[in-house]
Structures are given as structure tokens and as C-alpha cells.
Amino acid sequence: MFELSRDHEAFRALVREFAEKEIAPHAAAWDRAHHFPVDVVRKMGDLGLMGLTAPEEYGGAGADGDFLSLCIAIEELGRVDQALGITLEAAVELGIKPLVAFGTAEQQQRWLPDLVAGRALAGFGLTEPDAGSDAGATRTRAELDGDSWVINGGKQFITNSGSAMTSVVTVTARTGTREDGRAEISAIIVPSGTPGFLVEPAYDKLGWHISDTHPLTFTDCRVPADHLLGERGRGYAQFLNTLDGGRVAIAALAVGCLQACVDMAVPYAGQRMTFGGPIGRKQGVAFQIADLRVMLEAARLLTYKAAAMKVAMDRGVPGAPSRAEFKQSASIAKLYATEAAVTGTRVATQIFGGYGFMEEYPVARFYRDAKILEIGEGTSEVQRMLIARGLGLPVE
């Protein structure tokens, strides 16, 4: 049986109180207005959420923080609004983590303090019209011209890339050709406001209306050569490393979504009267809610297991799982939790009946928000492929 420590439970209570006070009363209005609440995101930084996995020297939690704490925070934010849950996930896993893992001391000193404190946000520009999990299909190019990289191309679906708080976006680009003929992919840091870096208008999305998401265009965008993140040609490997943890974090967001479904469905089924009694008395409804509870419990345990594996691996604990073992666990958690969340929101909406189709009820917002969980940071199809490969199957 997996049990959280008292410290983790106390931390959960702290984040839940924050989410219910600062986010829940306003989430529906922000969603309708497609409003990105800068002040609340900064308060998330004040609470220490951005620095949960960052070094203490840059204002992070250091040894007092861990990846499991981050997953708990994402879950609790996602329980009241999925879009602000993804804002935290992307800020830490896609924005801060690459700088911590691969940045030079100068890069870290320049950008991490504000990112960790929540005074700024960073984006991670990987996805293109023909490239995502298949990073080798990247078309964005960066050529070294003297002491500068000149970037041309475009990215799409980039979170935290165009807000008033965004200070930098790390982008992957083709920087040459490897000896085996494949594209050499590198990662380059592009500060906001750099000439030639255009943040296109925000997407009109099905869900996650509060989240800041834009396409990006680079036209002869010039940045100093020392803005290369990590080793030249290692951008693809860095991307894979980044996504492993991100998949568990998305699973945590899905757990928050499932918790919200249970939280909404149980009282509604006890109060909604039909044929002389509450609908929760009917087995057809009660059994669906029971299944929701089962999916929630299974998704949470799979997610916490993967998160705990990462903590042990990161800390070098004796007997810690290998990276291959963790990758399998991450894909399993992401696949199950996200598909369960999509099913769970459909079931919860059905329980609410006609009211579930009305935007005045939060269940409709969660229904819209859930679908992207099966797509972002590796689709369900990609997770099944990775799981099959982990079993030794020669799947392509």
C-alpha cells in the first residue's frame, strides 16, 4: 500500500486551500473570458510551487522538495481548474527543468531566479505541424553565423509562450546532419522580445481556455551562440529526458480531473430527485460513480508510484529503478490516468444530464478540458508503443 508522508499530506492541504480560495471562485469566469490570471500565477510562485524541484541556490526547495510534491500540487490545482494545473506543469517540467538539467551556470543564474520565484515563465518549443513526439521530423533550422544562431521556422501549441510573464522559450531546431544521415537536433534559448521572434495570436481552443498557448514564428531570429542549451546535437535526447517526467505530471493532472468528477457526481446524485428519490439510489447511476472511484484510485496509485520512482532515481537511492523501468512506469501512468479522465468526465456529464451540457456547471468545463490529456506530452498511441517496446516487442 502506498501512503504519503505527513509532510506530503500537509503540503496537499496547503495547496488545496490555495486552489479553493484563489482559483475555484474565479475559474469559470476566467474560462469564459480566456483570461490568463497573471496575479494568481505569481501567487503560485510565492507559495513555492514553481521551485519544488529546483536547486536551493536559485530559490528552489532543494533537498526539501521533490517530484512527488510537484505532482500533488498539479493534482490539487487540476482538481479546481485543469488549465492552471497545466500552467504549473509546463512552467516547471518544460520551462525550468531543462535549464536545471542542461543549462550552464551563466544561463541558470540569468533565468532561473525569476522563473523559480514565479516572477517569470518559460516555454518549451518542440511541436511543429509535422513534428512532435517524432522530433526527428523537426523543420525549424538554426545556423551558426559567427557568434550567433540564426533561427528560421515555426512551432505550434506552445504553452506559457506568450503571456505577460514569459521571459524565454527554449526551442528545438535542426543544426546540421549527423554522420548517419539523420537530423542533428539542438535546443536553443530564445528570450522574449528578440527581433525575428513572433508570438502569434493565442489559439481558440476546445478547452484549457485559461492556459496561455500560442504558435511561434522565427524569421532570421538571431541569438548569441552561448544560448545553446546543453550539447549541440543532444536536443533530441534532452527532449526525451524532459518528457519522461512530464508524462507523470500530466497523469497527476488527470488524477485531479478524476477527483473533481467524483467530487461533483457524488453530491449531485444524492440531491437530484427523480421518480420520488435521489438518482444515486438507482444502480445505473450508483455503479457509474463507483467505477469513477475505482478509476481515481487506480490512476492515483499508478501516478504516485511513477513519481516515487523518479524521486528515488533522482536522489540515487540504493535499489532505485533504472531509467528504463521509470520510463515504462511513466507511460503506464500517463496512458491509464488520461484515458480514465476522459471517460470519467463523460460519465460525470451523463450523470448531470441536461445540466451537464450547460456551461454554468463546472462538469462541462472539465469535460472540454479532459480530451487534451490523451494528446499532450505523447499521445495514447505513443504511450502504447513505448510500453510495447519495453516488453521487448519490435513495434514501429
For 11-15, which contacts have Cβ atoms below 8 Å and span 24 or more sequence positions?
Answer: 11/69, 11/72, 11/73, 12/72, 12/76, 14/47, 15/47, 15/49, 15/72, 15/73, 15/76, 15/77
Report the candidate in 81, 363, 376 with the shortest Cα–Cα distance to residue 211: 81
Q: Do 303 and 71 form a contact (C-beta atoms < 8 A)?
A: yes
Residue with cell string 528504463: 324
Please say whether the beta carbons of 349 and 364 come within 8 A: yes
- The domain made up of 6-119 has a fold known as Butyryl-Coa Dehydrogenase, subunit A; domain 1 (1.10.540)
> Which CATH code for domain 123-233?
2.40.110.10
- Alpha carbons 115 and 99: distance in angstroms, whole number: 10
Q: In degrees rounded to 5, what are phi and psi of residue 144?
A: -80, 120
Look-up of cell digits 497527476: 252
Closest C-alpha to 248, from 116, 93, 63: 93
Q: For 105-163, what is the HEC assignment? A: HHHHHHHHHHHHHCCCEEEEECCECCECCCHHHCCCEEEEECCEEEEEEEEEEEECCCC
**CATH 1.20.140.10 domain span(s) along the chain:** 236-390
Cell triple for 383: 504511450
Which of 297, 377, 381, 396 is flagged as catalytic? 377
Q: List the grid coordinates of 136.
A: 526527428
| pTM reported for the whole predicted model | 0.96
Within a 10 A sphere around the Cβ of 103, how many other Cβ atoms?
19
Domain 236-390, CATH 3.40.50.1580 — does that match? no
Which cell numbers hold the place of 79?
Answer: 482538481
Name the 3-class secondary structure at 257. Answer: helix
Query: Measured between alpha carbons, how far is 374 from 135 in angstroms, rounded to an integer?
Result: 19
Q: Cβ(366)–Cβ(260) under 8 Å?
A: yes
Q: Where in the chain is the domain with CATH 1.10.540.10?
A: 6-119
Residues of the chain with CATH 2.40.110.10: 123-233
Q: How far apart are CA 175 and CA 149, in angstroms?
A: 9
Q: What is the rounded CA–CA span in Å between residue 147 and residue 233?
A: 18
- Determine contact, residues 256/87, Cβ cutoff 8 Å: no
pLDDT by residue for the chain (396 residues), tens only, comes to 578 999 999 999 999 999 999 999 999 999 999 999 999 999 999 999 999 999 999 999 987 789 999 999 999 999 999 999 999 999 999 999 999 999 999 999 999 999 999 999 999 999 998 877 676 788 999 999 999 999 999 999 999 999 999 999 999 999 999 888 888 999 999 999 999 999 999 999 999 999 999 999 999 999 999 999 999 999 888 888 888 899 999 999 999 999 999 999 999 999 999 999 999 999 999 999 999 999 999 999 999 999 999 999 999 999 999 999 999 999 999 999 999 999 999 999 999 999 999 999 999 999 999 999 999 999 999 999 999 999 999 998
- For the question of residue 3 being annotated catalytic, the response is no
Angle (CA) 367 22 120, round 5°:
95
* Contact in structure between 215 and 272 (CB atoms under 8 Å): no
As a residue count, the chain comes to 396
Closest by Cα among 361, 358, 357, 336 to 260:
361
Nearest CA-CA partner of 373 in 328, 342, 343: 342
Angle between helices 323-352 and 283-315 (to 10 degrees): 160
Q: Is 344 helix (H, G, I), strand (E, B) or coil?
A: helix
